[in-house]
Structure 1
Amino acid sequence: MPNIALDWLAEHVELPAGLTAEQLAADLVRVGLEEEAVHGPAVTGPLVVGTVVSLVKEEQKNGKTINWCQVDVGEHNVLDDDGQPTVPRGIVCGAHNFAAGDRVVAALPGAVLPGPFPIASRKTYGHVSDGMICSQRELGLGDDHDGIIVLDRLGFTGQPNGTDAVELLGLGESVLEINVTPDRGYCFSMRGVAREYSHSTGAAFTDPGLRETPAATTDGFAVEVDDVAPVHGVVGCDRFVTRIVRGIDPSAPTPEWMKKRLTQAGMRPISLAVDVTNYVMLDLGQPLHAYDLAKVSAPIVVRRAAAGERFTTLDDVERTLDPGDLLITDSPDGARGSRVQGLAGVMGGQVSEVSETTTDVLVEAAHFDPVTIARSSRRHKIPSEAAKRFERGVDPRLPGVAAQRVVDLLVEHGGGTADPAVSDLDAVPATPAITFPWSEPLRLTGVDHGRERIAEILTMIGCELADGDGEAVQVTPPSWRPDIEAPEHLVEEVARIDGYDNIPSIVPAAPAGTGLTAAQRSRRSVARALAEAGFVETLSYPFVGTAQHDELGLDAEDARRQAVRLANPLSDEAPELRTNLLTTLLGTARRNVGRGMTDLAIYEIGLVTQPRPGAPVAPQLPGGRRPTADELEALAAAVPDQPRHAAGFLAGARERAGWWGPGRPAGWEDAVEAVRLVARTVGVELTTANDTSRMPWHPGRCARLELPSGKVVGWAGELHPQVLERLDLPRRSAAFEVDLDAIVAAAPTDPVQAVPVSTFPLAKEDFAFVVDQDVAAGAVRAVVVKAVGDLAEEVRVFDVFTGPQVGEGKKSVAVAVRLRGADRTLTAEQTAEIRGRVIKLAGKKLGAQLR
């Protein structure tokens, strides 16, 4: 995030006397630049320049080696017998990156460092340490904690011992750190922040980016752009400016004021040429690069990388390039574009790095495609300051101005001479005008700003207005605002500059409607019914992988393995969208069991993604316009089915033990009953049948659930022991999963009719049928229901028995039948006739024998 120093900002915009960083933050937040932090004076008290007179290394008993140093701090030295400050201060230091004779920064007793960390004389390691020799991190200048600041290495030379280091390093001023959103990249510069401060307060602003620059000449350093096949349809570089400064003194220091500002901005001073390019970037927002002219061969060629091409960046890392990377190359020995000089807009290389012997400098100021730079920066994990700006959009009119500013500073402080040759390859397209209805701000914000105020604001932010006498005006956004592309963006600017506080807070009236649809009401009723039955609702991420299919024991040909694969998965271990809920619900169950929750009853209602075999590939729709009806139809045809399922898991005790009894463990029957509850809630009757081949369920304890039409809508029962073992779940755990959308769709659409309560007495009949072992109890019940007809008030299976009494391969299914007439009392003859009808139909359909 940018750090804003008030004295630097004041060079571009008029600041009131006594302005504080806190007030600056309040002014900027009104135009959308939020405060990240206010860095107050980092150090108070005596912080001074000192010279290490002597250094003695001492080995301690704990194995640590310390340095006992004598530091000359000028007028802050210890007084001698004559009262003169001539005796150096003794300071203990544990760092080892400095030596006797080095000039350092010493915090003396009474100083307070960031933390706060007060400094005092104290006895340590057998000495009285009369202060502290400081590192960058201890002063809040950076993250380097182990290395002591050696001033000469940072370019600070000539300051006498005892000089105030607080002022030298810019530690005595408040600095505002702001948070810049991605669409406001121009605020990564003093120029941009000054403009926004002017918008907020009305202060006079002088734009340093509008100065006149020399025109291009025919003898400038040759530059070519060879990007005939851009990766995403946009040429990677549309402007490239080069300037040359000759005869620079390699030993010329960076001026103190520039070092101070770079330090306040969080950048380390390096050398004059490099510091100047960094300073201008921070000031104007245009990233620049300085080459050693002697190491660059014309022409410079901007091109895409070849697959597998390698390049070593300035951070001494060799990188394998991608065809999407944009490169800055030169042409040694006439080989056009053969040598890579830098990763465009991201980081330069070591080939032409400016060194301590460089006298002639080639300055580059270019404009690159934001998408190309963003991809390269992320691909190679180089979040450089230049890349941060390019990927947010840099003003394409700045390169010439920024290059001229670098030339002026190098001439002024380096003693160089500006070469009159100017190269400026400029193919920047004209900014298209936006048709902006005058009524748009009122429509979107509810505030009637008036045409004059709207025109004033748009002109203030740099827009050009034309043809504004009618209902709309043609608005051309400024070159530094690539984020303004549509009328709504201009409305946002009007609202922002005029003040968001001026927009009234009015709660919109809720439109009248029909409320929830029947399907929505049904789904909510199902969720409520399961919760009332003791299940706890959970939510899980819909991302799965091959390993989870393996854990469920799904065959290679199982349709549930045919999943939609994500192009950019959150995890390489879960790159697919789930095709069933149990895959992720069982993960939730495992997590809870692993945390000690052994008694579980959980459920989830959510979407699954089931691709259709032979479905077409989704078309790539163009941007900038509404797709046609045919394009939308093709897109819809490619979208996979996404039905809503309901699934549940049960383990441990279904009824807990207590004074009321021993309790009861959850079993397969609870899973089946949960599915019946789901169906009953929406008014659907399901039938059950055994299923011996549906993983992940137990082959002998799994029920297949079917609609009256015969459509299978789900499964319920005990989970397979091997699945439970792989997932570390309790033995005999049960689960269910049903297609909730299919069940809801099968629900009756007619209003529920009240059934009159019969006042006639009840007749009871119980049956015990012996049937084959593979005949489902539900099938027996269905036959009884059909035989009884309309007189059946309740038909219920109340017992299933197997044993030698009924024969091998047989079982007994007991069914209780409750009969009641709506308009009469049933006679014994009528009851007997119904009983005979039930026995006959059961024998005919199921081969059942009355026990």
Structure 2
Amino acid sequence: MKTSLSWLRDYVELPAGLTADQLDEALTNLGMEVESIVDQGATVKGDLVVGRVLTIEELTGFKKPIRFTTVDVGRDAPQEIVCGARNFSEGDLVAVILPGGELPGGFTIGARKTYGRQSNGMICSAAELGLGDEHDGIIVLPADAAAPGDDARPVVGLADVLVEVEITPDRGYEMSLRGLARELSYAFSAAYTDPATLVSAPGATATPPYAVNVEDTVGCDRFSARVVRGIDPNAASPAWMRERLVASGIRSISLPVDITNYLMLELGQPMHVFDLNRLSGGLVVRRARPGEKLTTLDGVARVLDAEDMVICDDTGPISLAAVMGGETSEWQPDTVDVLLEAAHWDAVMVGRTARRHKLFSEAAKRWERGVDPQLTLVALERAVRILTEHAGGTVDDRVLDIDHVVAPATIELDPGLPTRRIGLAYNSDQVTELLGRVGCTVTGVDPLAVTPPSWRPDLLAPIDLVEEVARLGGYNDIPSILPPARGGSGLTPSQRRRRSVGRALAENGYVEVLSYPFVAPTAADQLGYPADDPRRSAVRLTNPLSETDPLLRTSLLAPLLGTLKRNLGRGRRDLALFETGTVFLPRLASTAPPAMGVDRAPTDEEWAEANTIVPAQPWHLAVVLTGDADPAGWWGPGRPASWADAIEAARIALSAAGIDPARVSVAAAELAPWHPGRCAAIAVDGTVVGHAGELHPAVVSAFELPKRTSAMELDLDAVPLPPVTQAKRISSFPPALIDVALIVDRGVPAADVSLVLAGGAGDLLETVSLFDLYESDQLGEDKKSLAYKLTFRAPDRTLTTEETLAARDAAVTAVAARFGATLRGA
């Protein structure tokens, strides 16, 4: 929002000696971001004076008309000045900048010879002084504006201060002189005049001046209109209006259009002017229909959306409501009869329409932030008065006002809430007084019943009122002391586990990456999921960051493999990556969740019902490997990463998660996207928590990865959290080492045999580890030999041979009973 300080002073009695710094501080404390405060007089340096043209000599022989003039500038002798403009005559008063002066943009004026004549200064145009876009002619001042030699700044409009502020999206009322002046009256405790009270507007008449039907009263809850006939189409906008529009960054177009722009800036009410004689039949305000088109004032033919609001006549849409008018009904240079429209439109609809069509007009910016619905008749009355004053015409006494506006809801406010939230003591009277200053009607005692004014649609809940109390009470009075923090218990067990797992993998050579959780619909096909695989069912985002990746991942592997491919493309060959994060598993439901407001916390039943359709979000861990696990060098040949490394990564992660290796089992499995013959299921206490192995060749090809790329994925939330255990006492007695070789069926997992050995050996067993696997026809059909190293140790003594052998025999007996195992060589 950009405007001039003199315009603001029309409605608020600001201090006479107000400085730029004081104004900046006041606006900032009110919650506005100050873009700039510019003293226009300082933009032109040096002598800018009023001059009277004494003589004009037309110079010939040049490609463009050139004039050599003498100008009385109040000095001893007239100044000789060369000028190319032709819109002035002898005796006219003009603005002259003398040698040594400097125009906006750093253009310095000097005395020089040009076109064969000496030129001492410049006769200025509005563009050269930064007052507008007019380049073709210089500024010609009124005959009695000033005397030659007087300072020209106040005469041409350079004695003002321009203020530009950035308005937050929730405070649309500040995008007007009405709103800014009201805010400054708070800051300076100054008298305020509401421009909406300057005229008394007539209400709706029984017969409207023009037939209008509003079909959608949600998108447009108020529509008002007035008619003026017989205006002078050549009437110019008054100078004061043009100057204020230019100061606000708006180009002067014509008197009717300038009036609507002027009142939009002053009151905050956007308006539109129709050429009455170009309308065909009555107007209809409705939503656009599929396939409808409209050519807007910028000359672009637009295909309308069903959410767009349009104003139509018998020919179809003639205006994209609240955003931009159409070409077929706009004001024309010969327009003599006009229909002035002021309405109130739904903010959400306008915001979406403006973004959909990329039309961020000044009107749309105000509508999407919220406009006072009680301004329509006042704005129309002001418009017809200014129009008839300067262009004549006859005002139709009939007034149209279709009003479906809903009054602001009353908010119940605990008078102690501002004190609890802000940290300053506010008694009930202070809260009532501060809210009354912003226009709220406050009744009651405890709670306070607060009704916001019509221009504050952002005040919807008690916390909004608390913000107003803090703002008007003074942000600077709030002490910068942090409230006492509640005591916490630190990281949760799950958080500690995730950190431990990540640290362990990093220490073993894996690099952590962070991928977006979004995947393409083709990801399931790339990973080779069967048609009935539940992982194909994914949550689709309503408003995705990228239309190519609208789904939430059900596995970490698709984004992680994409990261692996990207790094391979950048020249990396030996890669071991890992990622921890959530996956999203949808819960299919036939009913929508309950609608919950912001006036209270949801009940337990509502919360449970809403969560029935929230996707399950377990925390997963995934790793991918390709290239060499051990690089080759002078020390020897390298070793390529394989499925075994992926399985070992799972063991490392589970060990870091506090799971005893004896509880972890690894068994052959089949699951996409792994190779059927090189896939292992990772289980804890018999419950499968993940898979690891070599990726299927088709998956490797789909992601354009090297052959034998391996991967692992664990559901960390499915891994039981370890209880808090007491550290074992470390024995200082020597261990007893015994090896056993057991013959079992080939299908028996080695990890299961380890678990049974550990259970059968008892408390004296310290460790059990597999060190050999042997298969031969001599062992028998479908048999294999598993050799384990058993370590026994007692905490309080050196074990005897008898004790060690007894523990070993107990372990072997347990395996024999479970799997029918026999001792090799027995």
With the length of structure 2 as denominator, give the TM-score of the two structures: 0.84
CA contact (8 A) 1:53 1:69 kept: no
Aligned to 1:432: 409
Query: Superposed, which structure 2 residues align to 1:73-92 within 5 Å?
Result: 88=82
Quick one: which of 778, 791, 807 aligns to 1:818?
791
Secondary structure in 1 matching 2:327: coil
Aligned to 2:388: 411
Aligned to 2:769: 796
Indicate how the Cα distance of structure 1 residues 414 and 848 shifts in structure 2: closer, same or farther if over 3 A, else same: farther
CA–CA distance in structure 1, aligned partners of residues 320 and 158 of structure 2: 35
Deviation at 1:271, TM superposition (A): 0.9
Deviation at 1:573, TM superposition (A): 0.8
CA contact (8 A) 2:785 2:824 kept: no
- More displaced 10-residue stretch of structure 1: 617-626 or 602-611: 617-626
Query: Superposed, which structure 2 residues align to 1:168-207 within 5 Å?
Result: 173-207=160-194
Structure 2 residue identity aligned to 1:237: C
CA–CA distance in structure 2, aligned partners of residues 532 and 384 of structure 1: 57
Confirm whether residue 632 of structure 1 aligns to residue 620 of structure 2: no
Aligned to 2:285: 302
Quick one: which of 421, 424, 438 aligns to 1:461?
438
Aligned to 2:240: 257
Confirm whether residue 387 of structure 1 aligns to residue 364 of structure 2: yes
Deviation at 1:193, TM superposition (A): 0.6
Once the two structures are superposed, residues 329-380 of structure 1 have per-residue CA deviations (whole angstroms, 9 ceiling, x without a partner) of 33x5xxxxx6333122111112221111011222111112222222322232
Quick one: which of 585, 588, 592 aligns to 1:618?
592
CA–CA distance in structure 2, aligned partners of residues 363 and 255 of structure 1: 19
Indicate how the Cα distance of structure 1 residues 465 and 527 shifts in structure 2: closer, same or farther if over 3 A, else same: same
Confirm whether residue 736 of structure 1 aligns to residue 736 of structure 2: no
Aligned to 1:61: none
Indicate how the Cα distance of structure 1 residues 650 and 139 shifts in structure 2: closer, same or farther if over 3 A, else same: farther
Structure 2 residue identity aligned to 1:819: F
CA–CA distance in structure 1, aligned partners of residues 242 and 178 of structure 2: 19
Query: Superposed, which structure 2 residues align to 1:26-41 within 5 Å?
Result: 26-39=25-38, 41=40
Aligned to 2:461: 486
Aligned to 2:738: 764
Deviation at 1:123, TM superposition (A): 12
CA–CA distance in structure 1, aligned partners of residues 360 and 409 of structure 2: 31
CA-atom RMSD, angstroms?
A: 4.5
CA contact (8 A) 2:80 2:118 kept: no
Secondary structure in 2 matching 1:36: strand
CA–CA distance in structure 1, aligned partners of residues 481 and 716 of structure 2: 40
CA–CA distance in structure 1, aligned partners of residues 123 and 822 of structure 2: 99
Deviation at 1:575, TM superposition (A): 0.6
Deviation at 1:268, TM superposition (A): 1.5
Aligned to 1:95: none
Query: Superposed, which structure 2 residues align to 1:91-240 within 5 Å?
Result: 116=106, 149-150=135-136, 173-211=160-198, 212-227=200-215, 235-240=218-223
Quick one: which of 319, 323, 326 aligns to 2:302?
319
Deviation at 1:727, TM superposition (A): 3.5
Confirm whether residue 690 of structure 1 aligns to residue 668 of structure 2: yes
Aligned to 2:352: 375
Deviation at 1:53, TM superposition (A): 8.4
Indicate how the Cα distance of structure 1 residues 209 and 55 shifts in structure 2: closer, same or farther if over 3 A, else same: farther
Deviation at 1:496, TM superposition (A): 0.4
CA–CA distance in structure 1, aligned partners of residues 66 and 745 of structure 2: 103
Quick one: which of 559, 577, 580 aligns to 2:534?
559
CA–CA distance in structure 2, aligned partners of residues 665 and 137 of structure 1: 73
CA–CA distance in structure 2, aligned partners of residues 550 and 582 of structure 1: 13
CA contact (8 A) 2:594 2:609 kept: no
Secondary structure in 1 matching 2:590: coil
CA contact (8 A) 2:767 2:791 kept: yes
CA–CA distance in structure 1, aligned partners of residues 808 and 821 of structure 2: 18
Secondary structure in 2 matching 1:546: coil
Indicate how the Cα distance of structure 1 residues 325 and 256 shifts in structure 2: closer, same or farther if over 3 A, else same: same
CA contact (8 A) 2:311 2:318 kept: yes
CA–CA distance in structure 2, aligned partners of residues 171 and 497 of structure 1: 33
Once the two structures are superposed, residues 399-453 of structure 1 have per-residue CA deviations (whole angstroms, 9 ceiling, x without a partner) of 1111111112212222334333322333333333333333222222222223333
Aligned to 1:285: 268
CA–CA distance in structure 2, aligned partners of residues 636 and 780 of structure 1: 43
CA contact (8 A) 1:170 1:261 kept: no
CA–CA distance in structure 2, aligned partners of residues 749 and 70 of structure 1: 96
Deviation at 1:260, TM superposition (A): 2.3
Structure 2 residue identity aligned to 1:565: R
CA contact (8 A) 2:750 2:786 kept: yes
CA–CA distance in structure 2, aligned partners of residues 808 and 37 of structure 1: 90
Aligned to 1:670: 645
With the length of structure 1 as denominator, give the TM-score of the two structures: 0.82
Aligned to 2:808: 834
CA contact (8 A) 1:668 1:718 kept: yes
Deviation at 1:781, TM superposition (A): 4.1
Deviation at 1:210, TM superposition (A): 2.1
CA–CA distance in structure 2, aligned partners of residues 73 and 805 of structure 1: 121
Secondary structure in 2 matching 1:677: helix
Secondary structure in 1 matching 2:615: coil
Percent identical among aligned pairs is 46
Aligned to 2:507: 532
CA–CA distance in structure 2, aligned partners of residues 755 and 5 of structure 1: 82
Confirm whether residue 605 of structure 1 aligns to residue 580 of structure 2: yes
Deviation at 1:739, TM superposition (A): 0.4
Deviation at 1:568, TM superposition (A): 1.3
Deviation at 1:13, TM superposition (A): 1.2
CA–CA distance in structure 2, aligned partners of residues 170 and 848 of structure 1: 108
Structure 2 residue identity aligned to 1:410: L
Aligned to 1:243: 226
**Runs of 5+ in structure 1 lacking a partner?**
58-67, 78-82, 91-98, 333-337
Indicate how the Cα distance of structure 1 residues 845 and 766 shifts in structure 2: closer, same or farther if over 3 A, else same: closer
CA–CA distance in structure 1, aligned partners of residues 136 and 779 of structure 2: 98
CA contact (8 A) 2:759 2:811 kept: no
Quick one: which of 673, 694, 703 aligns to 1:727?
703
Structure 2 residue identity aligned to 1:282: L
Once the two structures are superposed, residues 235-274 of structure 1 have per-residue CA deviations (whole angstroms, 9 ceiling, x without a partner) of 2223222222232211112223322222222222111111
Number of aligned residue pairs: give it: 801
Indicate how the Cα distance of structure 1 residues 667 and 622 shifts in structure 2: closer, same or farther if over 3 A, else same: same
Structure 1 residue identity aligned to 2:593: P
Once the two structures are superposed, residues 3-26 of structure 1 have per-residue CA deviations (whole angstroms, 9 ceiling, x without a partner) of 131122111112333434443222
CA contact (8 A) 2:70 2:81 kept: no
CA–CA distance in structure 1, aligned partners of residues 715 and 60 of structure 2: 80
Aligned to 2:10: 11
CA contact (8 A) 1:209 1:401 kept: yes
CA–CA distance in structure 2, aligned partners of residues 31 and 291 of structure 1: 38
Secondary structure in 1 matching 2:625: strand
Secondary structure in 1 matching 2:329: coil
Quick one: which of 681, 684, 698 aligns to 2:656?
681
Indicate how the Cα distance of structure 1 residues 53 and 167 shifts in structure 2: closer, same or farther if over 3 A, else same: farther
CA contact (8 A) 2:323 2:359 kept: yes
Indicate how the Cα distance of structure 1 residues 454 and 673 shifts in structure 2: closer, same or farther if over 3 A, else same: same
Structure 1 residue identity aligned to 2:608: E
